Structure 1
């Protein structure tokens, strides 16, 4: 398995910071391996005794009793009762802990909480309580955004250190597979970087990635969201894969669903299913941002899959538009490196061939920001054709500002500048040089 140095260093830097370390990410992206293998090995190499590392896997049936928050709390405290020793506690899949009504209000009985109940005990209470113990350094993993959902932000997010894990970046993929970078890119575009898929044969990879949706992702979503329309969930996921990198909204997706399935689905249902995919970390959104008006445009947005292999699995590995995959890879790489990524757009009034003033809308593939840094990016297959290059650089020329502008092309081109001062770079050098 790969070393994942970025995430390992984040864990090392957060050690003993007084907060629980919350490792989130899509299922099967390597959270448990990062914690139980890489980080555990690091601790042992640093002199921590194996007996001082407590590991509890809550998705294992034999540990089902500890999904009760009070039972879990008592168990961990009993394992760490010797205050002279420093313990490192790893709790895997913490979201399996259910929420109960405070037993003081139920005559000591265990009663599952309903949404309207306010006096409850949840994994948040356990997590925060254990993290206050001076001899416990706590690490937890979870596979959906219940971990950091809006209703627990004030209770939890500002009292924890979040480490969000993604599938392998392109650099991690290259480092692990030892492929030549152009060959690695071709493979990465097709099958992505889900760790357990990387070293399988082609047929095994494709079967594995397809099955992840049916046996893991959809099952989780249906159970957690209490959804009944599995076929609708499946179809909408496929539509999103087809529309990767296209501007869409709930109404457009609803209409597309109707045209494909010959049955109606409301905009509200579409929105709730999209939210479920985002909660499971399967997709992310890129909002439209007016680069001149300096405000977000909420009418449409783009969606990208967390992994191109997963995206391609939805289309049975038939992908006629290579540009969509390149965009998805660049988007994921920017997110991996800490950028906030949106779609840039702006209007320009120009003369048409008849000399009449007309308003045209231009798009910049990505506006990426990190701290005080902002960059604009266009991703294209090739700019050797004069018309193609003119189309790609025109938005940059019209913007006429001091923000760095990069054209990423699907060719082995070393970084250079064109006559306008825009950076031109090949896709592999861009991905490996961020």
Structure 2
């Protein structure tokens, strides 16, 4: 079993008088994580799986006395796949406010359902975290540094989902199963998408554009779907933890791009499955884009697990000067360029340095990426 960084964070938050919410894509290991926390706890624990219809129905009756009967002597209550419970936000609010001698830990695989139903009722009553596919740091702890580095090319091609890492030789089958429907089945179930084949076509179009600016109008013309629907689907896929948007950095200078975004996949293995391309890096013409996607995701994981808040962007001008990645933290700007080949040079664009004060800049290659990920 691969130890997860979030386990330590969650254990520190137990018994602080608030619910603990764990969100993340399907198959990232949320259930495994909370079962491990349950088994290591000295408190009496109760595990409730809301995927089971009977449990879901019982929890949808939030009478305080009835809930106390369900919980019995347990002081640590785990509710898995909580987004499936009707009015889950009010249920969790009642538990936190009225049954104060228990610790509530809740998981959800679909943020657009769970978050929208819990944010208002649980204002000031929750700690909320994300569980991603395995992080580079977790892989190093599970194996060792040299072994992890030897796997780097594989991890960029096949990604970091736990099942993928733990099942050598079966990576393609696992990734095809995830990418064909399972990863975003919540979208179909909760949002009643009438033509799910559009989701697949949209994802394939986005998979070919990682590292490039995305035009919603161009996607609309390519897929013959109106722009409003494109934006809606991208929003759903983002909330289901399949993709994420990186906005442009701009202070409203005329020469800067401000309308287009970049879209990355939370896992490069899923991206490669969508286009059915698992060729080794040396044979690929998208190696640079894959590297950019992989390293930005690993930095995002590291920021989250280290509780480091940063605004993140890319930058480009109409004259095509560009910076791959910018982090803005406490008013300071750190800029990074991602080059698989460390021999490639990068010069900070004068159009940027003339206007903005730079705190730190670096080229991130496969020879120094671990320092970037670990914030060394």
Measured after TM superposition, the shift of residue 219 of structure 1 is 2.5
Give the C-alpha shift of residue 371 in structure 1.
Answer: 4.3
1:323 aligned onto 2:288: yes
For 1:131 and 1:225, the matched residues in 2 are separated by 29
2:287 counterpart of 1:337: no
Structure 1 distance, partners of 2:253, 2:302, is: 27
- Say which of 230, 233, 237 aligns to 1:273: 233
- Where 2:27 maps in the other structure, the secondary structure is coil
Residue 292 of structure 1 contacts residue 346 of structure 1 at CA under 8 Å; is this kept in 2?
Answer: no
Helix, strand or coil at the partner of 2:319 = strand
Provide TM-score, normalisation by structure 2: 0.87
User: Deviations along 1:165-186, whole A, 9 cap, x unmatched?
Assistant: 1111112123324462432211
Cα shift readout 1:84-118 (whole Å, capped 9, x = no counterpart): xx7010000111112xxxxxxxxxxxxxxxxxxxx
Q: Which one of the candidate residues 353, 361, 373 is aligned to 1:399?
A: 353
Q: Is the 8 A contact 2:248 2:316 kept in 1?
A: no
Matched residue SS, 2:261: strand
1:364 — aligned with what? Answer: 323
- Say if 2:83 is the partner of 1:95: yes
Change (3 A) 1:301 1:397: closer
Runs of at least 5 residues in structure 1 that lack an aligned partner in the other structure: 99-121, 258-263, 348-358, 413-425
SS at match of 2:324: strand
Structure 1 partner of 2:334: 375
Query: How far apart are 1:327 and its partner, in Å?
Result: 1.1
Length-normalised TM-score, structure 1: 0.76
Task: Structure 2: give runs of 5+ residues left out of the alignment.
Answer: 279-283, 304-308
Q: Deviations over 1:364-403 (max 9, x none)?
A: 111113445541110012253xxx41xx214278515341
Higher mean Cα deviation, 8-17 or 368-377? 368-377
3-state SS of 1:140 partner: strand
1:6-21 aligned at under 5 Å gives the runs 6-21=5-20
Deviation, structure 1 residue 432 = 4.6
Q: Could you tell me how far 1:214 is from its partner in structure 2?
A: 2.8
Aligned with 2:78: secondary structure?
Answer: strand
Deviates more, 1:333-342 or 1:272-281: 333-342
Residues 11 and 407 of structure 1, relative CA distance in 2, 3 Å threshold: same
Match of 2:91 in 1: 126
- Following the alignment from structure 2 to structure 1, what is the Cα–Cα distance between the partners of residues 225 and 314? 30
SS of aligned partner of 1:393 = coil
Which of 167, 170, 175 is 2:136 aligned to? 170
Match of 1:76 among 37, 59, 67: 67
Give the match for residue 63 of structure 1. Answer: 55
1:19: Cα distance to partner?
1.2
Which structure would you say has the larger Rg? 1
1:249 to 198, 215, 237: 215
Per mean C-alpha deviation after superposition, the further-off stretch among 216-225 and 281-290 is 216-225
TM-superposed deviation, 1:3: 0.9
- Residues 330 and 141 of structure 1, relative CA distance in 2, 3 Å threshold: same
- In structure 2, the partner of 1:54 is 46
* 2:207 and 2:271 in contact (8 A); partners too: yes
Tell me the distance in 1 between the aligned counterparts of 2:200 and 2:168. 26
Instruction: Report the 3-state secondary structure (helix = DSSP H, G, I; strand = E; otherwise coil) of the residue aligned with 1:33.
Output: helix
Deviation at 1:218, TM superposition (A): 3.6
Change (3 A) 1:240 1:402: closer
C-alpha offsets along residues 212-234 of structure 1, whole Å, 9 cap, x if unaligned?
13341242211111101111111
Partner of 1:430: 372
**Greater CA drift, 58-67 or 233-242:** 58-67
Find the partner of 2:166 among 176, 199, 205. 199
Correspondence for 1:135 among 86, 101, 111: 101
Query: Structure 1's 196 and 271: CA in aligned 2 closer, same or farther, altered over 3 A?
Result: same
Instruction: Say whether the 8 Å CA contact 2:89–2:119 is kept in structure 1.
Output: no
**Does the aligned pair in 2 maintain the 1:291–1:344 contact within 8 Å?**
no
Partner Cα distance (2:47, 2:201) in 1: 38
| RCO comparison, higher one (Cα < 8 Å, 6+) | 2
Offset of residue 325 of structure 1: 1.4
CA distance in 1, matches of 2:297, 2:88: 30
In structure 2, C-alpha distance between the alignment counterparts of 1:24 and 1:67, rounded to whole Å: 19
Residue 58 of structure 1 and its aligned partner are, at CA, apart by 0.8
Aligned residue for 2:281?
Answer: none
Please report how far the alpha carbon of residue 239 of structure 1 lies from its aligned counterpart in structure 2 after TM superposition: 1.0
User: 1:156 Cα deviation (Å)?
Assistant: 2.8
**1:323 shift after superposition:** 1.2
Offset at residue 67 of structure 1 (A):
5.2
